[in-house]
Chain A
């Protein structure tokens, strides 16, 4: 299913912010906003709900903790008990560094993979078109999905860009 996207490019984030606020006030439905770098406060202006990625990260981390502790405990007390330096089989302090590492590893890898899947990036994504190459360089973009829109609505969306300090307005089918 291809989409007909109407998008405007801005030169800096200040004009972008005021344009987003104006679009929100006019009740326009923003498809997405693209920026070349993370812009602080953008999620507040766009009224996005808080990301749940960190909750997933906590779960992955806890999974890493349990995996590390579980495997080490099983190996060193049941499967192949060896005495190291006169310490007991279950030597918790010796397990801590590896538990820490696996917690970080699970949380980091899990969050990156989740992020890719949620964003439709990486080898899992079938189709990932780019609206404009300059979005990854120095342009800030507000995009509207205008697929199957009536002429009146289309007028409303196009005229929104007037007087918002936009540098350029384009339409693209993706």
Chain B
């Protein structure tokens, strides 16, 4: 039953090529940036770091939820999810770059980090942000990011360690230890991920907040993680691995993409409708900006992330046929990357516009259409591919370190006979 995955030189070269492309794109973005503080570069960096770190975290959460829920069907491809969770330390490194930028003043993404913002005597004083300064400050940002990511990475490592030891030892001891760590992660991960989402993304709109935001963002992560997982499994099957999975595994993965696309739409709409209905200026400013100045992103988001998977994956056959599943997973993965794009970029653009306006004609000219802000340009797509290469490189390297089948898992037999 043991199955050893080989990370071939060809795959390595391909992923390294993608990473090189990403690095070149990041460098070009930095050098060619016309924005005052390299906003295009920093938003791209933050966007992709958060996107892939989140996918890795959701992999861990998904694994924990299935472990706690006595799930058996996922055991056949559990090692792929485990490999995804081991990207978390890299996510920490990526976000450390953001933290260095925060202290060094290299980027001005977070308005709350500006000098004198909490000082009543300063010209920069902002009463609203001063009131939120207990959460929105450099120390909390750093502390939460580092501690939370270390905890997640540690739990991911513990789950992995027990899983690998189970291969050698057998028995139920390791299985029980994995359950314990899964039980620890579920509440800890749920609350801590909300803090991370608030600090990493929502605090870009320092004045604005939404109680639905953490739900909405983690739903976006979840769908992306399911798409990446499905695509990796389909790829592995095309390479002759994972022969023990049957069409019902793909069917259930398709159901995940389908169901959580609907869940994402549900939370997206819940956030939108509450704000639209109440019509409070402090809250509607977020959507007003997006609907007025970013209509392609705003409406495209719904089409690509709801209508497309909803109508295509509704039939059972499209959920287990490799062609339709691959097609939808690629589109929806890109769609959710676009969703994160429209969470970050419009806010930064509005800030730039505001500052240019305040500075009069002496400030930098901010046009009504900016490539890389209103729509992802080639540099953004290249950066995305670079980060994707980085993510896949680590996932594949981890997959190659152990058998693709957890041979002694008590639920393995159930997974081999899975019937949806």
Contact = CB atoms under 8 A, between A and B. Distances in A.
Given A41-B419, A58-B314, A94 B269 contact: no
A104 to B, nearest CB: 12
Interface of B is mostly: helix
A85 B419 contact: no
A148 interface: no
Interface residues of A, number: 10
B253 to A, nearest CB: 18
Contacts of B272: 93
B4 to A, nearest CB: 31
Contact of B279 (A54, A85, A97): A85
B276 A40 contact: no
Contact of B273 (A41, A58, A85, A96): A96
Interface residues of B, number: 10
Contact of A93 (B277, B314, B316, B419): B277
A123 interface: no
B230 to A, nearest CB: 22
A27 interface: no
A155 B273 CA distance: 69
A24 B273 CA distance: 56
Interface string B267-308: 001001100110100000000000000000000000000000
Contacts of A94: 273, 277
A79 to B, nearest CB: 23
A86 interface: yes
Nearest to B278: A85
A41 to B, nearest CB: 5
Interface string A91-105: 001101100000000
Interface string B367-402: 000000000000000000000000000000000000
A40 B273 contact: no
A97 B273 CA distance: 10
Nearest to A44: B419
A94 B279 CA distance: 13
A93 B279 contact: no
B278 to A, nearest CB: 9
Nearest to B279: A85
B277 A85 contact: yes
Contacts of A40: 419-420
Given A96-B269, A96-B273, A86 B279 contact: yes
A3 B277 CA distance: 63
Contacts of B314: 58
Nearest to B420: A40
Contacts of B273: 93-94, 96-97
Nearest to A55: B315
A126 to B, nearest CB: 34
Nearest to A97: B273
A54 B318 CA distance: 14
A141 B279 CA distance: 62
Interface in B309-331: 314, 316
Nearest to B317: A50
Interface in A40-60: 40-41, 54, 58
A27 to B, nearest CB: 26
A58 B419 CA distance: 24
A41 B277 CA distance: 48
A85 B278 CA distance: 8
Interface of A: 40-41, 54, 58, 85-86, 93-94, 96-97
Interface of B: 269, 272-273, 276-277, 279, 314, 316, 419-420
Given A85-B277, A97-B273, 5 more contacts: A40-B420, A58-B314, A86-B279, A93-B277, A94-B277
8 contacts: A40-B419, A40-B420, A85-B279, A86-B279, A93-B272, A93-B273, A93-B276, A96-B273
